[in-house]
């Protein structure tokens, strides 16, 4: 009898401990969402996209995006911040000769390419900064906290990189070579640039990478391929993607290379690489091993991270992938798709729609 009481008391203590641990775990909203996804997955509930809001695509939208629950669009030299139903929050008009818009992770950049005047805004439309470079700029992009801009002259192309305080920490110029892409690492201490070199009678990509104070750390040639994507891992290895191959580069050496047919898109995770090619999504670890490979019957062209899942889309189809499973399919007329937190924005020829994932009733 005494042994039964001790056993019951021990079981109750274990229950209390598990309950407390679970309660602490569920205090964080992201953990609540993870648990809900696990329970939904176990329960096998079918997923659908539930329409949140929509508004007509009445004017000639040049580009659009979504930040949290704010839709940002640009057209006719005007940037507009709206609710997801199209209600205007605020608007700013420009008098730019050659306007260009870049949507960064947190900020939106509106630039006059002809003068190098750049405005940056937060998701609520508040002006964060105004930069005036006084020179023609070909292209602009945000790389982590840094701002990269590309200048083209008749025989010289240049890359300038500004840190989070908008101080120039990288300035690189090249004669008789075309700059394809450039990236900085997360703390702004390294940069990598892909160049197209046709001067030796063959097609060749050069990858140049630099440290602090413009110190050149190395250079690598890849013949017969055009390197269109570069990124750094957390350990400053370089991921490079050409028109047909994926490269993992460390200390001036190609550690491994994988070739693909009909390369479409890439996403670099914390310790994995996700490649969309042909009709497949392949997950590769940093040793070059394939961990997962999913085939599709539909044609998809882009991959976007979404709620610890991935969203793939083409001209008229969307798929949501979780692990090895395709959990959702959706048909729509698509110009482009964007994701933010738990919302999906579909830019269509007639409507702008926002959706959330829901269980099918």
Of 179 and 11, the one with more pLDDT: 179
Number of domains observed in the structure of the chain = 2
* pLDDT recorded at residue 13: 59
Q: Which of 278, 295, 312 represents a domain boundary (last residue)?
A: 295
Residues near 51 by beta carbon (within 8 Å), at least 6 away in sequence: 353, 354, 355
Q: Is residue 328 part of a domain?
A: no
Q: What is the pLDDT of residues 263-309, one digit of tens each?
A: 999 999 999 999 999 999 999 999 999 999 999 999 999 999 999 89
CA–chain centroid gap for 298, Å, is: 22
Residue 32 in this model has a pLDDT that exceeds 70: no
Element (H or E) spanning 114, and its range?
A: none
Q: Is residue 201 part of a domain?
A: yes
* pLDDT recorded at residue 223: 94
Q: Assess contact for 180 and 242: CB atoms under 8 A.
A: no
Q: Is residue 197 part of a domain?
A: yes
* pLDDT recorded at residue 164: 87
pLDDT band at 176 (very low <50, low <70, confident <90, very high): confident
* pLDDT recorded at residue 38: 47
Q: In the numeric block, which tokens belong to residue 96? A: 């730019």
Taking the C-alpha atoms of residue 227 and residue 257, their distance in angstroms, rounded to an integer, is 13
End-to-end CA distance of the chain: 51
Which domain range does residue 35 map to?
Answer: 1-44
Q: Dihedrals φ, ψ of 114, to 5°?
A: -75, -25
Domain containing 288 — which CATH number? 2.130.10.10
* pLDDT recorded at residue 12: 56
Q: Is residue 196 part of a domain?
A: yes
Q: Assess contact for 174 and 156: CB atoms under 8 A.
A: yes
Question: Mean pLDDT, to the nearest integer, of 216-241?
Answer: 95
Q: Is residue 351 part of a domain?
A: no
Residue 336 in this model has a pLDDT that exceeds 70: yes
Taking the C-alpha atoms of residue 189 and residue 148, their distance in angstroms, rounded to an integer, is 14
* pLDDT recorded at residue 229: 97
Q: Is residue 70 part of a domain?
A: no
Taking the C-alpha atoms of residue 117 and residue 133, their distance in angstroms, rounded to an integer, is 6
Q: Is residue 63 part of a domain?
A: no
C-alpha torsion 13→19→25→28, nearest 10: -140
Q: Is residue 248 part of a domain?
A: yes
Q: Pick the range with the lowest mean pLDDT from 17-26, 32-41, 69-78, 79-88.
A: 32-41
Q: What is the pLDDT of residues 110-152, one digit of tens each?
A: 999 999 999 999 999 999 999 999 999 999 999 988 999 999 9
Residue 5 in this model has a pLDDT that exceeds 60: no
- Please give the model's pTM, rounded to 2 decimal places: 0.84
Share of the chain above pLDDT 70, in %: 88
Residue 2 in this model has a pLDDT that exceeds 90: no
- β partners of residue 342: none
* pLDDT recorded at residue 33: 45
Taking the C-alpha atoms of residue 123 and residue 65, their distance in angstroms, rounded to an integer, is 10
Q: Which of 269, 295, 321 represents a domain boundary (last residue)?
A: 295
| Cα 124–Cα 269–Cα 293 angle in degrees, nearest 5 | 125
């Amino acid at each position: 009898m005494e042994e039964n009481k001790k056993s019951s008391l021990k079981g109750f203590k274990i229950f209390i401990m598990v309950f407390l641990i679970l309660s602490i775990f569920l205090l964080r909203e992201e953990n609540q969402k993870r648990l809900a996804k696990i329970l939904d997955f176990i329960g096998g509930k079918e997923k659908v996209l539930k329409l949140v809001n929509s508004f007509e695509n009445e004017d000639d939208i040049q580009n659009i995006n979504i930040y949290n629950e704010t839709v940002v669009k640009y057209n006719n030299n005007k940037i507009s911040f709206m609710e997801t139903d199209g209600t205007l929050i605020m608007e700013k008009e420009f008098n730019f000769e050659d306007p260009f818009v870049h949507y960064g992770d947190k900020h939106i950049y509106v630039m006059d390419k002809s003068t190098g005047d750049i405005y940056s805004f937060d998701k609520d439309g508040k002006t964060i900064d105004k930069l005036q470079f006084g020179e023609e700029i070909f292209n602009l992009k945000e790389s982590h906290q840094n701002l990269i801009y590309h200048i083209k002259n008749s025989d010289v192309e240049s890359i300038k990189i500004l840190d989070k305080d908008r101080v120039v920490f990288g300035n690189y110029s090249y004669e008789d070579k075309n700059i394809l892409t450039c990236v900085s690492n997360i703390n702004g201490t390294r940069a990598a640039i892909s160049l197209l070199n046709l001067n030796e009678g063959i097609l060749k990509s050069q990858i140049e990478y630099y440290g602090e104070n413009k110190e050149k750390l190395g250079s690598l040639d890849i013949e017969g391929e055009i390197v269109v994507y570069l990124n750094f891992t957390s350990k400053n290895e370089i991921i490079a993607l050409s028109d047909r191959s994926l490269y993992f580069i460390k200390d001036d050496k190609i550690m491994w290379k994988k070739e693909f047919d009909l390369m479409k898109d890439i996403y670099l995770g914390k310790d994995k690489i996700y490649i969309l090619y042909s009709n497949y999504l392949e997950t590769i670890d940093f040793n070059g091993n394939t961990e997962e490979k999913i085939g599709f019957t539909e044609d998809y062209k882009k991959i976007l991270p979404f709620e610890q899942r991935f969203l793939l889309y083409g001209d008229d189809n969307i798929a949501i992938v979780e692990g090895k499973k395709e959990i959702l399919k959706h048909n729509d007329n698509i110009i482009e798709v964007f994701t933010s937190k738990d919302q999906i924005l579909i830019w269509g020829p007639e409507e702008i729609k926002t959706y959330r994932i829901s269980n099918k009733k």
